[in-house]
Structure 1
Amino acid sequence: MKYITTFSILFLIGCTTKQKITNIEREKIIAELDYIKNIDQEYAGIPSESFKMKYGKEKAWKIYEFKRDSIGNDNQKRIKALFAKYGYLGFKEVGKENSSKFWLPIQHADNEVEFQKKMLKELKKQIKYNNAFKSEYAMLEDRVAINSNQKQRFGSQVSYNENGQAIPRNGLIDSINIEKLRAEYGLPPFKEYYNNMTQMHFEMNKEILLKKGITAPQLYK
């Protein structure tokens, strides 16, 4: 009995290494996650037309990318601090919407692949307990694969061919079963997703593509 009691105590200590979240702390954490998500999305796309007119296209991109990288680094520091104190912030800790805000800067931490790998392992654990979105695990796994110069399992990361058509960046591990795998992890159908990305790319680069004689998005059938 003494052995069992000692083991139980050690087990409990091991399971409570992260600080428990109080209601007051939860409000502060959510406010922090709101800030992280909002500033991330502010620089997640491309410079606005007014921004390009103000600085010129080339300079606008340089300023925009510098700001985006700076924000990304700051967000990573904030996420690391939250993780060190509370562990992975999943559904049970902060709710589904706020858990996605915690995941977002991890997904964008392309300059720290080892950090992404660490979080991927942690996210895999959370999936087993239904404490995170399977789709976010899939997208982070693909991101790590791309940043490690490997093929993807889920095809969530795209690049574009010379005709402006979205294609899986670095290729797919298993193209035959891609639709089944994506459905299992809560991702939209492959063709639907890639056609949406192709259409968006066409609209954003219409002027360049028209000069190449491409007058419509090159969609998958």
Structure 2
Amino acid sequence: MNTTGLKFLTLLFLALSFCPSYGQKSTVLQPELAKEIKDMRDEDQKNRIKWSKMYQKGKFDSKKFKEFTKELIALDRQNTKRMREIIEEYGWPSYELVGEGPSNNAWLIVQHADRNPAFQARCLPLLKAAVDAGQANPSNYAYLYDRVAVSKGEKQLYATQSSSNNGLTEGNFYPIAREDSVQIRREAMNISRSVEDYAASMNFEYKIPDRKEADQRAEKLKNEYDKHVAIAREKFSNQEFEESADHYLIATAAYGHVTTEDFVQAAKALSLSEHEQISQATTLLTRALARGWNGFDVLIQDASMDYLKSELPGSWEDLKLVAEQIEIDLGKD
């Protein structure tokens, strides 16, 4: 696994989201389940804290770090599998079912199930129903809503998702819908920290724009998409794949405007051009899959993916697993 491939895995799938563990009531309906969920959360956080410390010490190119990253990925898969089973049997783990702390812990496990965005999306209405019944934390819904939106390349509502990996790397908020009213929405979901303070905690600056500035930002995002995607498509048709990929990378950052076809075509351009940012191809294909794109089986046989497969074999195999899990969960809808 090279450095760019590793960055993709860590930034997309291993974003750290620490969550406090609250005390649980002794009258919960499923105390053993509550303990199991808490244990899952504790293991998740113990390993993520260790991973974060290794990253901060600059060990991300070491064999030990890469091996530990694989272990963390395996833990995520294991926890996701078990949480799917729990939700299939009990529905959303509510305060009444498991207690406030374990209910929050369940959300954290789902929040880290980035390798199965279809499962995260399936959890959204269940969590919302629990919130509406006073049986789950509203802020958890806000964070998961944004997570699902970002996984599809759509705009987020609550400014909970950024590219900074909780301050480990340089970054900023992914595009926000109706940006001037973002703080109002956060407060409505009981998110106590202001969006400016939240950004500062992740080592970047952010200031809420007024309505005029927000509209200007939104218009600029759309114009950037229209301009660059038109060039990217033309360059691709002329087989100028490197230039196509460069413009697609700009265009596909315009969340809320990018089509599923854009994501797939951009991945092809990156692979065909043997682009230095080839790891982004996996991210883009994951976004397409999260939207329910069903062309992955055909793409597996497509020669355009040969470079991606050879350069990042681990990421390609992981992408196949993502596609399999998404197919399973989409089939449940």
Relative to the length of structure 1, the TM-score reads 0.71
* Superposition map of 1:116-195 within 5 A: 116-160=120-164, 166-169=171-174, 171-187=175-191, 188-195=193-200
Structure 1: gaps spanning 5 or more residues: 1-22, 199-217
The corresponding residue for 1:101 is 105
Distance 1:56 1:196, change over 3 A: closer
SS for the counterpart of 1:44 is helix
The Cα shift of 1:56 comes to 8.1
Number of residue-to-residue matches in the alignment: 175
Question: Any conservation in 2 of the 1:166–1:195 contact (CA below 8 Å)?
Answer: no
Distance 1:131 1:24, change over 3 A: closer
Q: Quote the Cα distance in structure 2 between the aligned partners of 1:56 and 1:141.
A: 30
Q: Quote the Cα distance in structure 1 between the aligned partners of 2:87 and 2:139.
A: 20
The Cα shift of 1:196 comes to 1.2
Question: Any conservation in 2 of the 1:113–1:147 contact (CA below 8 Å)?
Answer: yes
The Cα shift of 1:44 comes to 2.1
SS for the counterpart of 2:120 is helix
The residue identity in structure 2 corresponding to 1:194 is: A
The Cα shift of 1:24 comes to 9.6
Q: Quote the Cα distance in structure 2 between the aligned partners of 1:159 and 1:153.
A: 16
Q: Quote the Cα distance in structure 2 between the aligned partners of 1:154 and 1:56.
A: 31
Structure 2: gaps spanning 5 or more residues: 1-26, 208-333
Q: Quote the Cα distance in structure 2 between the aligned partners of 1:166 and 1:47.
A: 16
Single out whichever of 176-185 and 30-39 deviates more from structure 2: 30-39
Q: Quote the Cα distance in structure 1 between the aligned partners of 2:28 and 2:123.
A: 26
The corresponding residue for 2:47 is 43
The residue identity in structure 2 corresponding to 1:190 is: V
Q: Quote the Cα distance in structure 1 between the aligned partners of 2:176 and 2:28.
A: 45
> What do the CA deviations read for 1:64-95 (whole angstroms, capped 9, x no partner)?
21111100011111111211222211111111
Q: Quote the Cα distance in structure 2 between the aligned partners of 1:48 and 1:165.
A: 17
The residue identity in structure 2 corresponding to 1:136 is: N
The Cα shift of 1:60 comes to 2.5
Q: Quote the Cα distance in structure 2 between the aligned partners of 1:186 and 1:165.
A: 27
* Superposition map of 1:22-41 within 5 A: 26-41=30-45
Give the aligned CA root-mean-square deviation in angstroms.
Answer: 2.6
Q: Quote the Cα distance in structure 1 between the aligned partners of 2:144 and 2:87.
A: 17
Question: Any conservation in 2 of the 1:165–1:219 contact (CA below 8 Å)?
Answer: no
Higher relative contact order structure (alpha carbons within 8 Å, sequence separation ≥ 6): 2
The corresponding residue for 1:197 is 202
Q: Quote the Cα distance in structure 2 between the aligned partners of 1:43 and 1:119.
A: 24
Question: Any conservation in 1 of the 2:158–2:176 contact (CA below 8 Å)?
Answer: yes
Question: Any conservation in 2 of the 1:72–1:108 contact (CA below 8 Å)?
Answer: yes
The Cα shift of 1:33 comes to 0.9
Q: Quote the Cα distance in structure 1 between the aligned partners of 2:147 and 2:60.
A: 32
**Deviation >6 Å, runs of 4+:** none
1:78 is aligned to 2:91: no
SS for the counterpart of 2:135 is coil
SS for the counterpart of 2:163 is strand
The corresponding residue for 2:229 is none
Larger radius of gyration: 1
SS for the counterpart of 2:179 is coil
Distance 1:49 1:137, change over 3 A: closer
The residue identity in structure 1 corresponding to 2:112 is: H
